[in-house]
Amino acid sequence: MPALENLIAEYGYLAILIGTFLEGETILVLGGIAAAQGLLDIRLVMLAAFAGSYSGDQLAFAIGRKWGTKIMARKPKWQAKADYLLSKSPIFINIWMVAFRFFYGLRNPTPWILGSGRTVTFKKFLMLNGVGALLWAIGVAWGGYAFGMLLDHFLGQIKNIMLLILLCLAVLLPLGIWLWRRRRARRSAKRELPSAQTAAGVKILDRAESLLNSAQNRRPPGASAGK
C-alpha cells in the first residue's frame, strides 16, 4: 500500500505537531509506531511532539495570564478548582509544572490555571514546562516505538493492514474523544456536579503532595542545617 505509506511519511510530522499542540498522547503513540515501521524518523517524531506540546502549553499559560481573571470571575466553580491547585506549596507546584502532562486529562487545564493565578512567573513556566515537554515527548514516543516493534515482530505479515488501522485511528480516535468530552461537559453543566476527571485530578494532587511531604519528613535533622 505505497500510497498510504507516502501519505504517512509526508504528513506524519505535521499531524504529530498539530495533535500534540491540542492534546497529544494518542497521536504521539501512533507516531512512535509509524517510526518503528520505518515510515518516520523517531528523532523527528520526538522533535515535532516537543514543539507541539511545548508551544500549546505556553499559549494556554499566556491566555490564562491575559484573560484568566476575567473568566474566573464569571465561573465560580472554575475559580474554586484553580484556588485548590494554587494553594499547594511552591515546591509541589514546581514539580507539577514538569509532571502534569503525564496525567491524562490534566494537561489542558493546568497551564491555563497557573497563568491565571499569577503566582508562577512566565520565565519559570517557560523553563519547567520545557523540561516536562522534553521528557514527555521522549518517553511517550519511545513507548509507541517499542510497541510498534512488538507488533512488527508478531504481525509482520500484515503490515499493510496495520498501516490502514493506524490511519483510521489517527483520524477517528481524536474526533471520538472530542465528541465524548463535549457530551460529558454538557451533562456535567446540567447536573452541576464535578466531573470524574476533576475528582481524579484532586486525588492525584493530594497523593503527590502527601508523598512529597513524607519525603521531606524523612530527611535527617541535620540535612538542612548543613546547607
Domain count along the chain: 1
pLDDT in tens, 57-102: 999 999 988 888 787 777 777 777 788 888 888 888 899 999 998 8
Answer whether residue 73 is part of any domain: yes
Instruction: Report d(CA 57, CA 63) in Å as an integer.
Output: 10
Amino acid letter, 14 = L
Structural domain for 123, as ranges: 2-210
pLDDT at 198: 54
Q: Which three cell numbers stand for residue 59?
A: 499559549
Answer whether residue 67 is part of any domain: yes
Instruction: Report d(CA 201, CA 134) in Å as an integer.
Output: 22
Answer whether residue 32 is part of any domain: yes
The yes-or-no verdict on residue 222 having pLDDT over 60 is: no
Answer whether residue 223 is part of any domain: no
Answer whether residue 84 is part of any domain: yes
Answer whether residue 220 is part of any domain: no
Answer whether residue 216 is part of any domain: no
The yes-or-no verdict on residue 202 having pLDDT over 70 is: no
pLDDT at 200: 58
Tell me what the mean pLDDT of segment 150-159 comes to: 64
Q: Which residues have C-beta within 8 Å of that of residue 61, sequence separation ≥ 6?
A: 111, 112, 114, 115, 122, 125, 129
pLDDT at 169: 63
pLDDT at 194: 45
Answer whether residue 222 is part of any domain: no
